[in-house]
Amino acid sequence: MCAATVITLGCRLNAYESEVMRAHAEASGRETVIVNTCAVTAEAERQARQAIRRARREHPAARLVVTGCSAQIDPARYAAMTEVDQVLGNSEKMQAQSFLDADAPRVRVNDIASVRETAEHLVAGFEGRARAFLEVQQGCDHACTFCIIPRGRGPSRSVPLGEIVRQARLLIETGTAELVLTGVDLTAYGADLPGAPTLGQMARRLLAQLPELRRLRLSSLDPIEIDDALWRLIGEEERVMPHLHLSIQAGDDMILKRMKRRHSRADALAAAARARSVRPEIALGADLIAGFPTETEEMFANTLRLVEEAGLTFLHVFPYSSRPGTPAARMPQVPHAVRKQRAERLRQAGAAALARHLAARVDGAASVLAETDATGHAEDFSPVRFEAPASAGAIVAAEIVGSDGRHLIARTLP
């Protein structure tokens, strides 16, 4: 079995899929390098091309495969690169035959909009990770004006509970202490399945069938689509971690309308308030876009204020990136320099919020997932650095003895 090198760009779903591809590529018996691309911004695509060129220099004899959302959307662009041996679409990359067939076409990218099922694929484990991502949903049926990802991922489709349990059990058996349920539009889970189970109903059944699972975490959630069953589960089940990441994008109602988002500013604030009412110790993160077309300074100020008003701690900030073919690309654009400056102001607000959150935890206790012998994450996703080496892969009891503004400093307890 030959080793496979996988370079992953972008989201948690890509991280999961990279592990599936790693197993397929290793079984092929050929030295393979896979670049799993992202298309969410122009910068992500630039990084993908840079990674491809670097990978070819470092692995001159390897088969170099490019896949992911950027390859799905614009396969010809990557096929034109002399460094690339094969281009696979997002559906094709999950098929073992794509890696086993030595005579496969150089470009295998089908119409992702025609895909109606999720592939059944198992991951034997995540290399060196006590936390593992588990894909439970794919694709998106919505049409946010800034987003090109539906063109890369196709329509929304859900993984049946039985398959989720099967994959989760295998991951637990190989040492995973924490599972992260992930998807492109996670709160859309179940609408396409018999009986239309909600995300909250599925998560409760998953935990009931897996009493050995110690920690469950959720990836990005649409604030207006968190179902009542999930809110109850967050409040009642200690194994669901007190940390939610909300797909908010903006804090101004006009910008949200022009983004074609499904929530308002008030909805985002209501979701934050409800989270704290059911789980007072919960920490909240959010995706935010700075410099969306037509955004004025006043509109941006509404987003900036939302960080404090909603009590957001972990921010993923993106300067708006125009994606050709999307409605937002045809709107009046904010100058690049202004987008960059506004994004930096949001990041500064996020850094200050994180520092305050961490300072409030000093002198308390935490249950920390030690991802290496030096670092880990607490239940609320606060990043942790250990004073002395911890047992990597274990969940350890710790005393919080300080903070450097970006991490908690922890001392493990006997």
Pair type for strands 375-377 and 365-370: antiparallel
What value does the CA radius of gyration of the chain take, rounded to a whole number of Å? Answer: 21
For the ranges 120-124, 153-157, 402-406, the lowest mean pLDDT is seen at: 120-124
On the question of pLDDT at 226 being above 80, the answer is: yes
Tens digit of each residue's pLDDT (9 = 90 or more) over 54-111: 999 999 999 999 998 888 888 889 999 999 999 998 888 888 888 887 777 888 887 6
Q: What is the pLDDT of residue 117?
A: 55
DSSP track, 117-162? S---------TT-SEEEEE-EE------TT--HHHHH-S-EE--HH
**Residues in the chain, total:** 414
Q: How confident is the model at residue 125 (pLDDT cuts 50, 70, 90)?
A: very low
Residue with more model confidence, 30 or 312: 312
Q: What is the pLDDT of residue 127?
A: 47
Cα 272 from Cα 310, distance rounded (Å): 6
Local structure of residue 332 (DSSP, 8 states)? P
Q: What is the pLDDT of residue 3?
A: 77
Residue with more model confidence, 387 or 122: 387
On the question of pLDDT at 385 being above 80, the answer is: yes
Cα 251 from Cα 307, distance rounded (Å): 9
Cα 402 from Cα 28, distance rounded (Å): 49
Cα 245 from Cα 284, distance rounded (Å): 6
**% of the chain with per-residue pLDDT over 90:** 69
Q: What is the pLDDT of residue 228?
A: 97
Local structure of residue 350 (DSSP, 8 states)? H
Q: What is the pLDDT of residue 42?
A: 85
pTM: 0.84
Tens digit of each residue's pLDDT (9 = 90 or more) over 180-205: 999 989 999 999 999 999 999 999 99
On the question of pLDDT at 124 being above 60, the answer is: no
Pair type for strands 178-182 and 131-135: parallel
Cα 113 from Cα 143, distance rounded (Å): 13
Q: Which residues does 155 contact at the CB level (< 8 Å), separation at least 6?
A: 113, 115, 116, 139, 140, 141
Mean pLDDT, range 301-305, rounded to an integer: 98
Cα 259 from Cα 328, distance rounded (Å): 7
